[in-house]
Structure 1
Amino acid sequence: MGKNRKILIYSHMNRIYFIVALFFSLAVFYKATAQHKDKLTLSEAYQLAMANYPLTGQKSLLMEQTELSLSIIRNESLPALSANLEGQLQSESLQIGSDSPESPVFIDMPRESYKAYAQLDYTLYQGGLTHARREVEKANLEVGLNQLEADLRPVKDRINDLFFSIMLSRQQEQLIASSLSNIDASLQNLEAGYNNGTVLESEIIKLKVRKLELQNQQESVLADSKAAIKILGELTGLNLSPATELVLPNYNAVAEVELQRPEQQMYESKKLLLSAQEGTITALRKPRISLFAQGGVGYPNPLNFSDIGHAPYALGGIRMTWKIWDWQTTAQKTERLRVQQKRVDIQKETFEYNIETREDEFLEKMDALTRQIQNHQSIVALQGEILQQSEAQLNNGVINATDYLIQVNAELEARLRLHLYELQLQQLQVKYLTLFGTL
């Protein structure tokens, strides 16, 4: 029985170990594959790249800094308790009466004095200064966050460049593969003719040379595409492969759009910050009322000049301070803030002007590319018909390989040019929408 029980326990332990090992294996496998993407949209790439960008870490720091500043302001409005020690030595002191027996009163204050005391201060009214300081800190946070958004915007431009670089490389690779397929088919026909004695070997060699040239071009395009995919994966934090599908925004045409850049919010938040600072200046100009209490020990008694010994004491009261005349300093500080607000308005107008003046340029270029694409579609169709005729003529011995290769190159160039125009149009549309903040 004891042996069977040990075997049973050992069997259960093995099952537990197996389950634990399986769990960790699945966890590792999930971690390795969780970030793999078969399809990536442009908007997803924007979000992931900006979230993965080191500068984004400043957002939490900005919020933490603001929370600390607000906490400091809140604590500064609470009652303040301080410990103090004062001592002094003076050349003369108060003396009342004389030490003669005839004098009814004789007080001779010592020349040295000291007191040790604790003081409690509490501000009852400070003209809204605490509220104004809190508003300044909140406005500072908005400026920082909007500035961060503006600083992250160039990440979108980089993602755009990588997206279209990869897409262009893929289309080039497909077109080159199609041309290689045509050459392989023609080589089979020529080699059959060479075996029958109807085709010269030099014609076959010409096609083989062109095939090697296209293969080298294909390798170069693939290398560029892999490099761009790797960089895009590093920026987004994803595991991308050459098969990952890149998806562009779905739009048929781009018309005039409204400017929606983060820099605009940044300028507006700067104006709000200046307004909040104006509230602080106004609050400082108002009277301040506070309570105070003091208690300790002094020599001589700080409250009773007739007591020249060590004595405890206590006092308390209310205090008001109000700077009645400040030589127009408050008005000048307020005017300075308004001048700064006007400067911010000019900066915002200049920023918007520089972008909006480019709108017509983008729209004209997009219209021109649209017309070029329409014209070039006809060219590609005609070049395709000519290539079919040339292939039949090559197989029948009407033309040689050189003539055929010229037409292969012409048809390939036409298709490459068409796809280049289409990509240029898409890229121009994305740049336009990104520039105006729609994407």
Structure 2
Amino acid sequence: MNKLLVFCLFFSQYAFAQTITLEQVQQKAKQQYPLIKQKGLVKQVKDISIENLRKGFLPQLSLSGQATYQSEVTTVKIPFPGVNIEPLSKDQYKLVADVNQMIYDGGLLKQQTAMQQVNAEVEDQKIEVELYKLNERINQVYLSILYIDEQLKQTELVRKDLETGLKKIEAQVNGGVAFKSNLNLLKAELLKIDQRIIELQSTRTGLLDVLTLFTGENYIPSTQLEKPVVQSPAYDATVSRPEINLFQKQQQLLGVQNNLIKAKNLPKTSFFFQGGYGRPGLNFLENKFATYYVTGVRFNWAFGGLYTAKKEKELIGLNQQIIAVQQDVFLLNTNTQLKQQQAEIDKIKQLISKDNEIIDLRIKVKEAANAQLENGVITANDYLREVNAEDQARQTLILHQLQLLQAQINYQTIKGK
């Protein structure tokens, strides 16, 4: 009854076990990574900056005033019959409200807005580059768990072989044709298998905890990881990494800066209206407080920027060349890594082929040893040696299979797929 209960609990644990994929873990890790919050902040900075820039075409209002006292004022000393011109007061007052409406700014607002937009895209792409690096860390942990799972499966196979040998030795000991020391030898090896399972399961739980930290999901020991299916593609120099997009955005930003230099040095036109109150008003011959206004169109063309415009454009051109060189270096290094991974994939495939041949031979040797053990031709130690040899061959195959999978995933990651 107790065995049935244990079996039911074991079965229910794995029957309803959570199954996850590498893509799911990568996506959740990206969503939970603290750096993802910076993308929203970059967007807010961009929106606020553009909103402030657009207000540059709203009417600009200014208010100014002054009160002065001067030692002398203009007087008219030419006598006119019947006309008495009162001299101006030495204390004078002025309060002026100025409204200025931009009509044409040479495209400055358009280029400044474009610069804020592209600059935000550059910062956003930098975040994408950092988030992409997260995949490498997730891949390493995920594949380590898969490797442990394969080791656990192989450990169970070894246990079955040892238990088979143990039953045969027990029968021989009971029949008086074998020493009990042979029986104890296999029992000791079974205990070592238990230790090995404890170590593997403990390491697996620790790695699942790491994935939990990255993703925010609760991965329990019964969580099953789906083995990725990755095709081994032929070598292709095409790279679609986020770094390529970053280089392109940086080049685009420099192009906008070049346009901004042109816009700054173009003429500006605006409409203005001034309303004032003071003494004297616009009529300087009337020594009294009066209201007045002046309106019209302003034209402004500052030539100071033309002195440095040529050099500023040269600097932008040099920066564009620097980015182009950085992109070439990145592509060279990336393609070098792709070549190395492709060579690694080809090598491991050949090793796996030899592993399978070795395992086939080891199985035959173990089966022969099994029969010899049953007939009492060899000792338990001899049988154990052959079981361990097959186990070692299978462990090597498992290692190579995971190395192949890792090399294939690395190839895709380096390529940007």
Report the Cα distance in structure 2 between the residues aligned to 1:252 and 1:140, rounded to whole angstroms. Answer: 38
Report the Cα distance in structure 2 between the residues aligned to 1:94 and 1:409, rounded to whole angstroms. Answer: 116
> Match of 1:51?
31
> Match of 1:10?
none
Instruction: Give the secondary structure class of the aligned counterpart of 1:318.
Output: strand
1:69 pairs with one of 49, 53, 57: 49
- Structure 2 residues not aligned, in runs of 5+: 1-15
Aligned length: 401
Report the Cα distance in structure 1 between the residues aligned to 2:17 and 2:180, rounded to whole angstroms. Answer: 49
> Match of 2:256?
276
Letter matched to residue 400 of structure 1: T
Report the Cα distance in structure 2 between the residues aligned to 1:101 and 1:271, rounded to whole angstroms. Answer: 75
Q: How does 1:110-129 map to 2 (within 5 A)?
A: 110-129=89-108
Cα displacement string for residues 87-134 of structure 1 (whole angstroms, at most 9, x for unaligned residues): 3444x4333145999996655444443322321110111111111111
1:208 pairs with one of 153, 166, 187: 187
Cα displacement string for residues 270-316 of structure 1 (whole angstroms, at most 9, x for unaligned residues): 11111111111111111001111111322x22422223333222221
1:421 aligned onto 2:390? no
Instruction: Give the secondary structure class of the aligned counterpart of 1:259.
Output: coil
- Structure 1 residues not aligned, in runs of 5+: 1-35
Farther-moved stretch of structure 1 (371-380 vs 322-331)? 322-331
Contact 2:264-2:305 within 8 A present in 1 as well: no
Residues 150 and 88 of structure 1, relative CA distance in 2, 3 Å threshold: farther
Contact 1:37-1:240 within 8 A present in 2 as well: no
1:297 aligned onto 2:260? no
Instruction: Give the secondary structure class of the aligned counterpart of 2:377.
Output: coil
> Match of 2:354?
375
TM (norm. structure 2) is 0.90
Residues 193 and 87 of structure 1, relative CA distance in 2, 3 Å threshold: farther
Cα displacement string for residues 114-166 of structure 1 (whole angstroms, at most 9, x for unaligned residues): 32232111011111111111111111121112111101011100111011101
1:263 aligned onto 2:243? yes
Letter matched to residue 274 of structure 1: L
Q: How does 1:30-429 map to 2 (within 5 A)?
A: 38-90=18-70, 92-97=71-76, 108-257=87-236, 258-298=238-278, 300-324=279-303, 326=305, 328-429=307-408
Contact 2:169-2:380 within 8 A present in 1 as well: no
Contact 2:105-2:267 within 8 A present in 1 as well: yes
Contact 1:99-1:106 within 8 A present in 2 as well: no
Cα displacement string for residues 408-430 of structure 1 (whole angstroms, at most 9, x for unaligned residues): 11111100100110110010110
Cα displacement string for residues 384-409 of structure 1 (whole angstroms, at most 9, x for unaligned residues): 11111112222222111221221111
Contact 2:60-2:100 within 8 A present in 1 as well: yes
Report the Cα distance in structure 2 between the residues aligned to 1:224 and 1:65, rounded to whole angstroms. Answer: 44
Instruction: Give the secondary structure class of the aligned counterpart of 1:357.
Output: helix
Residues 212 and 37 of structure 1, relative CA distance in 2, 3 Å threshold: closer
Report the Cα distance in structure 1 between the residues aligned to 2:289 and 2:17, rounded to whole angstroms. Answer: 83
Letter matched to residue 223 of structure 1: S
Contact 2:125-2:245 within 8 A present in 1 as well: yes
Report the Cα distance in structure 2 between the residues aligned to 1:37 and 1:318, rounded to whole angstroms. Answer: 77
Report the Cα distance in structure 2 between the residues aligned to 1:160 and 1:347, rounded to whole angstroms. Answer: 27
Structure 1 vs Structure 2 CA RMSD: 2.3
Instruction: Give the secondary structure class of the aligned counterpart of 1:86.
Output: strand
Letter matched to residue 239 of structure 1: N
Residues 69 and 128 of structure 1, relative CA distance in 2, 3 Å threshold: same
Letter matched to residue 214 of structure 1: I
Letter matched to residue 145 of structure 2: I
Report the Cα distance in structure 2 between the residues aligned to 1:261 and 1:76, rounded to whole angstroms. Answer: 39
Q: Runs (4+) of structure 1 moved beyond 6 Å?
A: 99-104
Instruction: Give the secondary structure class of the aligned counterpart of 2:75.
Output: strand
Residues 376 and 277 of structure 1, relative CA distance in 2, 3 Å threshold: same
Report the Cα distance in structure 1 between the residues aligned to 2:311 and 2:220, rounded to whole angstroms. Answer: 63
Residues 217 and 134 of structure 1, relative CA distance in 2, 3 Å threshold: same
Contact 1:96-1:105 within 8 A present in 2 as well: no
Letter matched to residue 40 of structure 2: S
Letter matched to residue 175 of structure 1: Q
> Match of 1:15?
none
Instruction: Give the secondary structure class of the aligned counterpart of 2:371.
Output: helix
Instruction: Give the secondary structure class of the aligned counterpart of 2:219.
Output: coil
Contact 1:50-1:155 within 8 A present in 2 as well: yes
Instruction: Give the secondary structure class of the aligned counterpart of 1:317.
Output: strand
Letter matched to residue 225 of structure 2: L
Letter matched to residue 64 of structure 1: Q
Instruction: Give the secondary structure class of the aligned counterpart of 1:240.
Output: coil
Farther-moved stretch of structure 1 (237-246 vs 69-78)? 237-246
Report the Cα distance in structure 1 between the residues aligned to 2:391 and 2:90, rounded to whole angstroms. Answer: 108
Instruction: Give the secondary structure class of the aligned counterpart of 1:297.
Output: strand
Residues 369 and 80 of structure 1, relative CA distance in 2, 3 Å threshold: same
Report the Cα distance in structure 2 between the residues aligned to 1:100 and 1:330, rounded to whole angstroms. Answer: 59
Letter matched to residue 23 of structure 2: S
Contact 1:132-1:283 within 8 A present in 2 as well: yes
